[in-house]
Amino acid sequence: MFRVLFLFFVIVPIIEITVLMHVGEWLGAWPTIAIVILTAWLGAKYVRQQGLVTLQSVQSKMAQGEMPSGEIITGVMLLVAGVLLVTPGFVTDFFGLSLLIPAVRQALIKSVQQHLVTGQVSQSRAGFYSSVEDSVNESANFNAEQQTQNKHQGETLEGEFERKD
């Protein structure tokens, strides 16, 4: 995690400053500033537009009783795209704009979902038992609890309740 934060907060700004300096030398200071402001404005506009479409899709899936997992991941990616586009610089703008392309987003969503499913399957197969004996003991305890619940099913306990705070 430290490496990712180091990369994000130290290396990326250094790259951005370098690219901005080279573009500024090539185009001049004011055109470079205008391009940075324009990309931030256009990016925010398109993130808002696609975010509203994603929100409507989430609402329709929830109304149908389906889990909108793809739309949630899309929303997170649009949030990241918005942050990248508002951050001054050409490199972050490039990555932010690439996240606004639906084909790129869909490829990333499939990759993330595949990773999540693989992680869940491997975790469930790894098990939570250190040995076969633990598994058998856990199964026996579960069966005993089920029998106790079935035995007391239908009985009502009556009494008074007093809350003491």
164 assigned to some structural domain = no
Which structural domain, as residue segments, surrounds residue 20?
Answer: 2-123
Tokens describing residue 133? 């004996």
- Residue 155's φ and ψ, nearest 5 degrees, are -85, 140
Q: Which amino acid is at 148?
A: T
Q: Does the structure show a pLDDT above 80 at 145? A: no
Compute how many other C-beta atoms are within 10 angstroms of the C-beta atom of residue 85. Answer: 26
- Into how many domains does the chain fold? 1
In a domain, 155, yes or no: no
pLDDT for 132 equals: 45
This prediction's pTM: 0.61
Would 82 be classed as within a structural domain?
A: yes
pLDDT tens-digit readout, 35-72: 989 988 888 888 888 888 888 888 888 888 888 877 88
Contact between 46 and 105 (Cβ < 8 Å): no
Tens digits of residue pLDDT in 14-34: 999 999 999 999 999 999 999
In a domain, residue 129? The reply is no
Summarised one tens digit per residue, pLDDT across range 110-132 is 887 777 765 555 555 444 444 44
Q: What is the pLDDT of residue 25?
A: 93
